[in-house]
C-alpha cells in the first residue's frame, strides 16, 4: 500500500486564516481595535514562534485590559474552532483512500489543539492516522516523527511521499530520509538552494494528485 504523509497546518487546513479569525474575535471581545490584528498575527508567525514568547508579548501589550486566562485560551485554541477543510481537499483525500493509499497526518504542535483541528474538520474520518510532535516527543524535520507516522499504519517508510508547506519541517524532513516530496507553495517562491522538493504544487489537492500519479 503506498503511503502519503501529509502536513496539517497551512497544508490540509488554512491555519493562518483560522487563527486570524480567532484574533479578530479576541480583540473585539475585549474592546481592542481591529488594527491590532496585524501585530498579533505577525507575532504569531504562523505558529512558529514559541508559545511562551507569544504569551509574554501579548500580556505585555494587553495585560491591563485582557485577563491572562483569555490570552491563554487564544493560544491554547489556536483557531481550532475556525479551521475548515475545502471540498477539493476532502475529495482528494477520499480519492486517495479509494485508490488504496494510506494517508497519515504528520504535524508539529500541541496534541489537544491539533487533534481538535483534525476532528473539527472531519479529517479523522478521511485519514488512517496521525502523529503529533508533542505526543511522540519528536518534531519535524526529525526523522523519528516520520517513522512514527509510518508505524501507525504498519507500512515501510521507503517509497512514501511527504506533502507540506514548510521548506524546513516538511521538505527538509523528506530530504533527510531520501523520500519524495511535494511542496505546497501557496504562491511563494522556493527559498532554499541546498535541497529542493521533488515537485511543487499550488495546493494540497494538486499535490495529492501528483503523488497518486507517481506511486512507484
Residue 71: pLDDT band with limits 50, 70, 90: very high
* pTM to 2 decimal places: 0.94
Do residue 104 and residue 202 come from a single domain? yes
Task: Return d(Cα 134, Cα 111) in angstroms, integer.
Answer: 6
Do residue 65 and residue 138 come from a single domain? no
Boundaries of domain holding 124: 3-14+83-212
Do residue 166 and residue 98 come from a single domain? yes
Do residue 125 and residue 113 come from a single domain? yes
Planar angle of CA 86, 35, 40, nearest 5 degrees: 65
The predicted-structure confidence for 134-148, as pLDDT tens digits, reads as follows 999 999 999 999 999
Do residue 38 and residue 92 come from a single domain? no
The predicted-structure confidence for 99-115, as pLDDT tens digits, reads as follows 999 999 999 999 999 99
What's the number of domains the chain is made of?
A: 2
Q: Per-residue pLDDT for 216 more than 80?
A: no
Mean pLDDT, range 208-212, rounded to an integer: 98
Do residue 107 and residue 172 come from a single domain? yes
Name the E strands within 80-212. Answer: 102-107, 129-132, 161-164, 180-184, 199-201
Amino acid at each position: 500500500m503506498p503511503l502519503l504523509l501529509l502536513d496539517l497546518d497551512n497544508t490540509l487546513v488554512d491555519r493562518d486564516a483560522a487563527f486570524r479569525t480567532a484574533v479578530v474575535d479576541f480583540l473585539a471581545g475585549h474592546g481592542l481595535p481591529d488594527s491590532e490584528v496585524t501585530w498579533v498575527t505577525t507575532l504569531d508567525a504562523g505558529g512558529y514562534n514559541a508559545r511562551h514568547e507569544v504569551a509574554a508579548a501579548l500580556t505585555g501589550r494587553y495585560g491591563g485590559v485582557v485577563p491572562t486566562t483569555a490570552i491563554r485560551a487564544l493560544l491554547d485554541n489556536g483557531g481550532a474552532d475556525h479551521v475548515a477543510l475545502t471540498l477539493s481537499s476532502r475529495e482528494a483525500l477520499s480519492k486517495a483512500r479509494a485508490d488504496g493509499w494510506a494517508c497519515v497526518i504528520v504535524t508539529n504542535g500541541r496534541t489537544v489543539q491539533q487533534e481538535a483541528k483534525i476532528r473539527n474538520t472531519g479529517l479523522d474520518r478521511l485519514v488512517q492516522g496521525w502523529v503529533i510532535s508533542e505526543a511522540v516527543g519528536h518534531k519535524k524535520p526529525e526523522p523519528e516523527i516520520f517513522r512514527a507516522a509510518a508505524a501507525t499504519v504498519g507500512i515501510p517508510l521507503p517509497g512514501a511521499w511527504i506533502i507540506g508547506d514548510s521548506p524546513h519541517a516538511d521538505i527538509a524532513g523528506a530530504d533527510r530520509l531520501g523520500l519524495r516530496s511535494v511542496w505546497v507553495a501557496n504562491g511563494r517562491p522556493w527559498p532554499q538552494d541546498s535541497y529542493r522538493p521533488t515537485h511543487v504544487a499550488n495546493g494540497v489537492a494538486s499535490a495529492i494528485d501528483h503523488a497518486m500519479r507517481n506511486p512507484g
